Amino acid sequence: MRRMFIASTLVCFAAAAAGAQTKVTGTAQCGKPDPQHAIPVGDRPDHSLGVEQLKCTWTKPMEIGGDKSKDGVSTATNEVSGNSFRAHGFHVATMESGDKYFVWYQGTGELKEGALQSQKGNWGFTGGSGKLKGIKGKGTYTCVPSGDTVTCEIEGEYQLAK
């Protein structure tokens, strides 16, 4: 069950540049959640609600107006029901310059014996700091386990404020 929550990172997302919508891609690798809490709902044995926070590193940074994503923190809630789950969270990413962007994300995933098999979903910018203030855009993500970590492929588009 613990490994399934790792995927909620997802999602460490996004990017930025100027002008019209600009395509963006990146790869984030996220570690084990810390902290992580799960509480059984009580209506059936395989139904629980959880909250977690994880740290991520961009192994293939998202380039945003000449700046690159470096790392981030995802905070999420999860509902687990049997071998599937739904995640909703927020990610705060830090660029090499120190600017930050903020993203919401939501998705669904599959588990096997409590371990993450896959997760996919959508994301969108909620804001940013410095040159990323007023950033807009959205995209999709897909996450899969990779040893003790989770690797998330992110793609989408963005537009910086004028």
Instruction: Give the model confidence (pLDDT) of 43-67 as tens digits.
Output: 999 999 999 999 999 999 999 988 9
- The larger pLDDT score, comparing residue 150 to residue 9, is at 150
pLDDT > 80? residue 70: yes
Check: CB of residue 10 under 8 Å from CB of residue 91: yes
Instruction: Give the model confidence (pLDDT) of 132-155 as tens digits.
Output: 999 999 999 999 998 889 999 999
In whole angstroms, what is the distance from residue 144 CA to residue 140 CA? 14
Can you read off the two tokens belonging to residue 160?
A: 């910086």
Check: CB of residue 141 under 8 Å from CB of residue 13: yes
pLDDT value, residue 146: 87
pLDDT > 80? residue 89: yes
Q: What is the mean pLDDT of the chain?
A: 88
pLDDT > 70? residue 7: no
Strands 22-30 and 100-112 turn out to be unpaired
Q: How many CA atoms lie within 13 A of 31 on its CB side?
A: 9
Could you please state the CATH topology (level 3) that the domain comprising 2-159 is classified under. AOC barrel-like (2.40.350)
Q: How many CA atoms lie within 13 A of 107 on its CB side?
A: 31
Instruction: Give the model confidence (pLDDT) of 15-29 as tens digits.
Output: 333 347 999 999 999
Is 20 exposed, middle or buried (CB count within 10 Å of its CB: 0-12, 13-18, 19+)? exposed
pLDDT > 90? residue 113: no
Measured at the alpha carbon of residue 3, what is the angle toward residues 155 and 156, in degrees to the nearest 5? 5
